[in-house]
Structure 1
Amino acid sequence: MRLKLHWQILIALGLAVPAGLAAGQEAALFGITFYQLFDFVGTLFLNALKMLIVPLVVAAIITGVAGVGGAKGLGRLGSRTVIYYFSTSLLAILVGLVLVNLFAPGVVNGDPGEVFGFSADTSEIEARVAGRGMGDVADVFLRMVPVNVVAAAADGQMLGLIFFSLLFGYFMTRIQQDYADAQYNFWQGIFQTMMAITDWVMKFAPVGVFALVAKVVATTGLEAVGPLVAFFFTVLGALAFHFLVTMPLLLLFVARVNPLRHYQAMAPALLTAFSTASSAATLPLTMECVEKNAGVSNRTSSVVLPLGSTVNMDGTALYECVAAIFIAQAYGLDLSFAQQFTVVTLALLTSIGVAGIPAASLVAITIILAAIGLPAEGIGLILAVDRILDMTRTAVNTFGDSCGAVIIGRLEGEKGILQGESDKPRRTEAAVEVG
């Protein structure tokens, strides 16, 4: 009997840790280091996932919006999606704010430079974020309307691509019916093809996950936590609270479904999100799990999930807030209520449109630090543990998106969501309405 995908990925994660520790960066076979092999296989798997993103997102949104059938349906679905994403991100930030003030991981005795070890080279990061400031928040909205949609797709500017796809899908329902039907069938065909390719790529997920995690362990060993253990566990505790308390309560009382079934349904996507640290790369599998395992219709998931992978970053927003206040504490600053409110607001805004790729939140944290008068080099404090926490918060981001699809699907009146293996509905295709 073949093991289910999530068990295969879990076993791969378990084997990757000792393999990475044993190999390190120097062990070699036939002149090729194991580290180079891990890097090659992991990058190949990540590239395969990223290859699917643009055509899958565009086809999913266009067919999803067209299937909603007009302004009334789209307006209701869209407004519920935006309200959900704003609310859950704010809840996540507030959880982080409470815990970082409660445990104060950055408050130490002695010189912070000696305690935290400012040995990390932050010159590359400083160069990347040089000249950035509050104006970058406005850039989020400018990126919504790309000058060239083809260039936006090539550059991976998902916010602009999503906006274009929303417009295309909506106005596709406003043209002559025979043309609308032809367009809908074309994009639905692309979507089904991309999902089939996703199924094939995910057969290699255990191997890709093993390589990606083994590479991280080979690079950092088990020293990534080091003197930042208090900060590490504060962030981990806040993420765990949001993942294990906040979101299940929303599933239970708003969607009225069994949260345990949703954890089971999303296991492959969560493990993949953790190992790749990329919510964008995990999107194809997230859609697969939400539709096939949780039973949410394609009509809902194709609008909610692609949008969520770009604008809904619960874990990232939480992390940005905790990291900024931790750095302030390490520098001996006691932020006022107004300053902490600024941190919360910026964490909420900058988490929107943060690229769903590893370490993208470092740029957003720099914006927050500049706003409260802290040097960008403060990021050096968290570099040692950022990769591990990046993997964790990505899983939280993905879980938040999937919960949104379930909750909004239930609010839209869908039946059979998370009702168990026997009566799971298949992926549905909504008929396009025109006129």
Structure 2
Amino acid sequence: MKKVGLLTRLIIGLIFGILVGYVSKEFLQFDALVRLLATFNGIFGGFLSYVIPLIIIGFVAPGIAELGKGAGRLLGITTLFAYVSTVIAGTFAFLVGTGLLPKIVTAVGGHASNPEEALVKGFFQVDMPPIMGVMTALITAFLFGLGMASIKNKSLYQVTKDFQEIIEKVIQSVIIPLLPIHIAGIFANMTYAGEVAKIMKIFGSVFAIVILCHLIMLVFQYVIAGTTTGKNPFTALKNMVPAYLTAIGTQSSAATIPVTLRCAKKNGISDGVADFAIPLCATIHLSGSTITLTMCAMAVMMMGGIDPSFGMMFPFVLMLGVTMVAAPGVPGGAVMAALGLLQSMLGFNEAQLGLMIALYLTQDSFGTACNVTGDGAIALLSNKFAKGSGTVATGVEVA
């Protein structure tokens, strides 16, 4: 029997939640079922808040350590290209969102009510205070990551890799399976509070804008790469279509690497550079995910009556490019790694984090597809650098 995919389960949870909220309000006229789901959401949200600092350390520390073990200047230039592309993508998403999202929110009936005031409360609450704050976790991850990259002893690095594996199992075995129930609880509550119609209309509009931004960003990336390398950008982009379609199916940059490699080599990238740059970019180049996270975060903030400014969003984009390192290996990993930033930098509460997860995961496949397709453009630029700087095919500098 074929296993039901995450997106299908999320949609089922969303529909079930709307039905529970509607039936409770219009027919049963009592909120016991909604409160039961709200109780689960309170416990799940508390556990999520507890895990967020551990996710940051588990992903960021070994990710930074691995970057420090790369091959000379080619590593540095590829990382720079990937990071700049990610920041440009997030900035582009902010500019588009600033122009379009306020009109969409206004068109569907204005801002949603404050979740803390409008939503039904659970029967009880379980406190699960995190072992450290989000910023403390980030600093700790940077400290350990940079430290491991600079020393030769691999013992601590192996410990962090084992810890990363534990966190990935927590995400895959606990958080991801329970997400549909969490989404059901959120939408049951929103329906009972009378806000779900507005939110669903905004969801649909944001989804369409995000996909369009992905496509525009890919054209931009390949025009830059093609102009720099002397290749036809649209032919190069066409050659990457199999990787795009594969990523939609796998929802994982890491799982798509073999196909991305074949497509990149078809664009004339040397075997050595492709074998180095494509796996590296699968963990550090997140233009599609950054567009989605930036746009969705702005939508959720506007639904809560907050007007996101450039001064608020640009630092968030800058940090996204770092905190999501190594997250693409896990379906939904990017949004999980970003939860800490959403909480600490943008002030998201548990209800807003839940909405953010729902918004992001409904299009996770397309964000991943944009990421891996863009990897081919970064590899083209790295290949040009490798030829012009005397770097050998393996990516190691010539002595």
Question: Normalising to structure 1: TM-score of the pair?
Answer: 0.56
Deviation readout 1:182-226 (Å, 9 max, x if unpaired): xxxxxxxxxxxxxxxxxxxxxxxxxxxxxxxxxx9xx99xx9x94
Pick from 354, 365, 378: which aligns with 1:404?
A: 378
Shift of 1:354: 2.6
The alpha-carbon distance between structure 1 residues 396 and 350, as it changes in their structure 2 partners (threshold 3 A), is: same
Please give the alpha-carbon distance, in whole angstroms, between the structure 1 residues aligned to 2:296 and 2:375.
Answer: 23
Shift of 1:84: 0.7
The alpha-carbon distance between structure 1 residues 295 and 320, as it changes in their structure 2 partners (threshold 3 A), is: same
Pick from 99, 102, 107: which aligns with 1:102?
A: 99
Shift of 1:323: 1.9
CA contact (8 A) 2:78 2:277 kept: yes
Deviation readout 1:31-73 (Å, 9 max, x if unpaired): xxxxxxxxxxxxxxxxxxxxxxxxxxxxxx9xx97xxxxxxxx
Shift of 1:87: 1.4
Deviation readout 1:222-256 (Å, 9 max, x if unpaired): x9x94311211222222121122x11211221122
The alpha-carbon distance between structure 1 residues 277 and 385, as it changes in their structure 2 partners (threshold 3 A), is: same
Find the counterpart in structure 1 of residue 210 from structure 2.
235
Aligned residues: 289
Please give the alpha-carbon distance, in whole angstroms, between the structure 2 residues aligned to 1:410 and 1:103.
Answer: 37
RMSD (Å) for aligned C-alpha atoms: 4.1
The alpha-carbon distance between structure 1 residues 434 and 407, as it changes in their structure 2 partners (threshold 3 A), is: closer
- Aligned with 1:135: secondary structure? helix
CA contact (8 A) 2:105 2:111 kept: no
The alpha-carbon distance between structure 1 residues 118 and 128, as it changes in their structure 2 partners (threshold 3 A), is: farther
The alpha-carbon distance between structure 1 residues 240 and 136, as it changes in their structure 2 partners (threshold 3 A), is: farther
The alpha-carbon distance between structure 1 residues 130 and 356, as it changes in their structure 2 partners (threshold 3 A), is: farther
> Structure 1: where are the runs of 5+ without partners?
1-15, 26-60, 66-73, 158-215, 415-427
Find the counterpart in structure 2 of residue 78 from structure 1.
75
State whether structure 2 residue 236 is matched by structure 1 residue 298.
no
State whether structure 2 residue 135 is matched by structure 1 residue 134.
yes
Between 308-317 and 346-355, the greater mean CA deviation after superposition: 346-355
Identity %: 21
Pick from 231, 234, 238: which aligns with 1:264?
A: 238
CA contact (8 A) 1:129 1:363 kept: no
Deviation readout 1:306-355 (Å, 9 max, x if unpaired): 22111111111222222222211110012344222332223333233434
- Aligned with 1:373: secondary structure? coil
Find the counterpart in structure 2 of residue 356 from structure 1.
329
Please give the alpha-carbon distance, in whole angstroms, between the structure 2 residues aligned to 1:134 and 1:352.
Answer: 16
CA contact (8 A) 2:276 2:395 kept: no
Q: What letter matches 1:241 in structure 2?
A: I
Please give the alpha-carbon distance, in whole angstroms, between the structure 2 residues aligned to 1:383 and 1:302.
Answer: 33
Between 380-389 and 356-365, the greater mean CA deviation after superposition: 380-389
Find the counterpart in structure 2 of residue 199 from structure 1.
none
Shift of 1:366: 2.1
Between 130-139 and 378-387, the greater mean CA deviation after superposition: 130-139
State whether structure 2 residue 351 is matched by structure 1 residue 377.
yes
The alpha-carbon distance between structure 1 residues 305 and 232, as it changes in their structure 2 partners (threshold 3 A), is: same
- Aligned with 1:327: secondary structure? helix
Q: What letter matches 1:77 in structure 2?
A: L
Deviation readout 1:113-155 (Å, 9 max, x if unpaired): 599x989x9xxxx989896522343355334636455556666
